[in-house]
Structure 1
């Protein structure tokens, strides 16, 4: 509870200096999908609509955002959907050349940071979006994709997801097929970081035994603190540390506190008719849940965990592998619930405040906010 006391204090000048003088990298934000689903534009004021928009990224201290490219396994043409999402950010960047740069080289990144523009790149969330085609993977890279999550909750045929590996009815291949290993090797060759969030344990260990470059978990937490299959077990965390990779903390309440799921199920049951109506209207299921959570904020806030619960994941990972292997992968705009204090991208400074309260040095805080990811990025390129 002593850490909470510090968070209740005003955000000090000292804390502001550390937060805003560090390079903050968030490896996972779904705002492009959210903007398409809600028919809004990222360069407009989306307060009360999205967790994120272009202006609020800057106000929250975000310097470098990897924008998630996502669709579920039900889309008829996932590759085309991915290209549409990328096109939407290219359009925003074209309208706002003074604010955002889609960076494709290390020089692009350095220049954008020097000019205080948002560094923008893409992270494809789900290998199904390449349609088992290495040429499409290369096209993604050329457009600015700098990591790919090998699976989402579905399996692309060449890698098995956490959801399928725990499903007794799943009859597909577990782990990486020969083609899956070729995908990993191609990503290493291109300079595209391999992301193991969402993958099954068999796939995870196949990746560890195949990759020649450091990997990331772009938005995952610690299984020991919250035992759900989307989180990483201790032996996986240790393996990522040995690989030189980074685990980026996910803000989703269900991956922070396992008790959230029971509370959330009751909340969804109370609003089932409205959720079904949104899904029937064409909204993807994940965003229907988010829309209802936004509509009833007092109900949804009441079931959220506290920021301190997220910090338990941070502490656990640091204890296992050190401060050089943790970062931020919020999952903002792809989740319907986050810790109470982390409502939007404006609240990132509270995470820095929590690190200060724990006694971390300026150097270590800068590593966590972005330096660790930058190390992995350079090691892959």
Structure 2
């Protein structure tokens, strides 16, 4: 009996030691991840807070209780360089889209004017590095949607002069000179042609001349490869994932991933659950059928169904952080470590992986990369150094 008690005591002590070792291991792991994250240059290539909050009169210089983003949370997340997307949907067209783009840039400039010790606009890598060294958030402007230049080259030049350093050639809607991924896959029968036309090729040449990054998120395959044939600068894919892991038209297929690597460009991973989890839309439909259908007989899109789910149901839909890490792994294996970055799409997406609730959670991504076995040097590349290299290449 005494021997049995001694064996039980020993087993309990071993279990306690194991739990303690596990706890301290996680503690040390988290500390190392925080150190790496703090020391690294962190660049997020896509955030929609201008449209989501600033244009609705919210002061993002202070903590707000909505959305994913404000300056305090950007700081908590250790984000050194934030690309602020200038966006509007296809309802804005000739006579309205360019004006609305400028209105959003005005909104960002007001934030900068009101919080000059916190944030500054940067237009080249020299000012970027200087701003970061001063402890400020470096703000970069990216225009999401070629419809915002309204088919005019002088509007492209004007947006560049105001600080825009990338143009996403299309949003989900096509423009007269380039076709989108959505239209090339879902509405292809309505298209007269796919890819770039003559004016589209002129836009690419002009962007190369200006040193403005060509962003190939949202564009169709034909547009994508038309650009690759003529650009003389590396391209950006600001917020897209791997099609092989989630077959969504917005994600890149393997030949596109390899083409970006050959071009010396960078693909930045998106946090949206619907671009990460192959079961996301199936789960929405199941939860909707279970919770809502009896009270709602109107035929609705999947996104519309998501909006009608309860907060608890929406939480169930969030994938684990591991799925985002899987997409990063896939990109790294196919394109190489030098061609992967981060483009969260915060404030432009309705669902994110668990552990990435808002901008303040960026260090969790670094911890996940460390747990996956990435070296500090490789993590630094993914977090920002690759995108910095891409920006420098535009200046050459």
Say yes or no: TM over 0.5.
Answer: yes
Pairing 1:148-163 to 2, within 5 Å after superposition: 148-163=167-182
Q: What RMSD in Å do the two structures reach over aligned CA positions?
A: 2.5
Structure-2 change in CA distance of 1:292 and 1:111 (3 Å): farther
What's the secondary structure of 2:129's corresponding residue? helix
Pairing 1:41-190 to 2, within 5 Å after superposition: 41-47=59-65, 49-76=66-93, 77-166=96-185, 167-190=187-210
Kept in 2, the 8 Å contact 1:158–1:173? The answer is: no
Kept in 1, the 8 Å contact 2:55–2:104? The answer is: no
- 1:351 maps to 365
Q: Pick one of 204, 208, 212 that aligns with 1:192.
A: 212
Q: How many residues align?
A: 364
Instruction: Note the C-alpha offset of 1:286.
Output: 12
- 2:36 maps to 18
1:57-93 deviation digits (Å, cap 9, x = unpaired): 0111000011111111012511111111111110000
- TM-score by length of structure 1 reads 0.90
Instruction: Note the C-alpha offset of 1:292.
Output: 6.3
Partner Cα distance (1:70, 1:267) in 2: 31
Kept in 2, the 8 Å contact 1:289–1:336? The answer is: no
Kept in 1, the 8 Å contact 2:283–2:317? The answer is: yes
1:295-319 deviation digits (Å, cap 9, x = unpaired): x432211011111111111111111
Structure-2 change in CA distance of 1:73 and 1:134 (3 Å): same
Kept in 2, the 8 Å contact 1:30–1:334? The answer is: yes
What's the secondary structure of 1:169's corresponding residue? helix
- TM-score by length of structure 2 reads 0.87
- Structure 2 residue runs of 5 or longer lacking an equivalent are 1-21
Partner Cα distance (2:356, 2:338) in 1: 23
Pairing 1:244-283 to 2, within 5 Å after superposition: 244-265=264-285
Instruction: Note the C-alpha offset of 1:204.
Output: 0.4
- 2:249 maps to 229
Structure-2 change in CA distance of 1:24 and 1:299 (3 Å): same
- Structure 1 residue runs of 5 or longer lacking an equivalent are 276-284
Pairing 1:183-332 to 2, within 5 Å after superposition: 183-265=203-285, 296-332=310-346
Larger radius of gyration: 2
Instruction: Note the C-alpha offset of 1:355.
Output: 1.0
Partner Cα distance (2:157, 2:250) in 1: 27
Instruction: Note the C-alpha offset of 1:358.
Output: 1.6
Instruction: Note the C-alpha offset of 1:210.
Output: 1.1
Instruction: Note the C-alpha offset of 1:50.
Output: 1.3
1:348-370 deviation digits (Å, cap 9, x = unpaired): 11110111112211111111000
Partner Cα distance (2:273, 2:173) in 1: 21
Structure-2 change in CA distance of 1:249 and 1:159 (3 Å): same
Structure-2 change in CA distance of 1:255 and 1:291 (3 Å): same
